[in-house]
C-alpha cells in the first residue's frame, strides 16, 4: 500500500514539474510561429523566473534585431512601386 502511495505522489510531482516547464515553452513556440508567419509585432511575455525568462528574453531580442534586417531584405527584393506578385 505504501508503494502505491509513493508511486502516486511521484507521478503527481512529475506531472506538475513537466507542466511547469512545458507550458512556457509552448507559449514561446506559438509566439515564434506568429513571427515566422510575418507578424513582426508579436511579443512574448517575459517571465520573472530566470530559466524561462532568459529564453523568452533572448527570443524577443533576436526578433527585435531581425525586424530591420528583414525589412531591408524585403525592400531590396520588392522596391516601392514595383508590381510584386503580378504575373505578366
Q: Within 10 Å of residue 15's Cβ, how many Cβ atoms?
A: 10
pTM check: above 0.85 = no
* Rounded distance between C-alpha atoms, residue 82 and residue 88, angstroms: 13
Task: Please answer whether residues 35 and 12 qualify as being in contact, where contact means their C-beta atoms are separated by less than 8 angstroms.
Answer: no
Q: Model confidence over 1-53: pLDDT tens digits?
A: 889 999 999 999 999 999 988 888 888 888 888 888 888 888 777 665 555 55
For the chain, domain boundaries:
40-77
At 28, list the grid cell. 514561446
Tell me: pLDDT of 88 over 50: no
> Are 7 and 35 in contact, with CB atoms under 8 Å apart?
no
Amino acid at each position: 500500500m505504501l508503494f502505491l502511495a509513493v508511486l502516486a505522489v511521484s507521478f503527481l510531482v512529475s506531472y506538475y514539474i513537466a507542466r511547469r516547464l512545458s507550458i512556457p515553452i509552448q507559449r514561446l513556440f506559438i509566439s515564434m510561429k506568429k513571427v515566422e508567419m510575418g507578424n513582426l509585432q508579436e511579443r512574448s511575455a517575459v517571465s520573472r523566473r530566470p530559466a524561462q525568462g532568459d529564453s523568452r528574453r533572448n527570443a524577443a531580442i533576436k526578433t527585435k534585431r531581425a525586424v530591420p534586417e528583414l525589412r531591408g531584405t524585403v525592400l531590396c527584393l520588392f522596391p516601392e512601386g514595383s508590381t510584386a506578385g503580378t504575373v505578366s
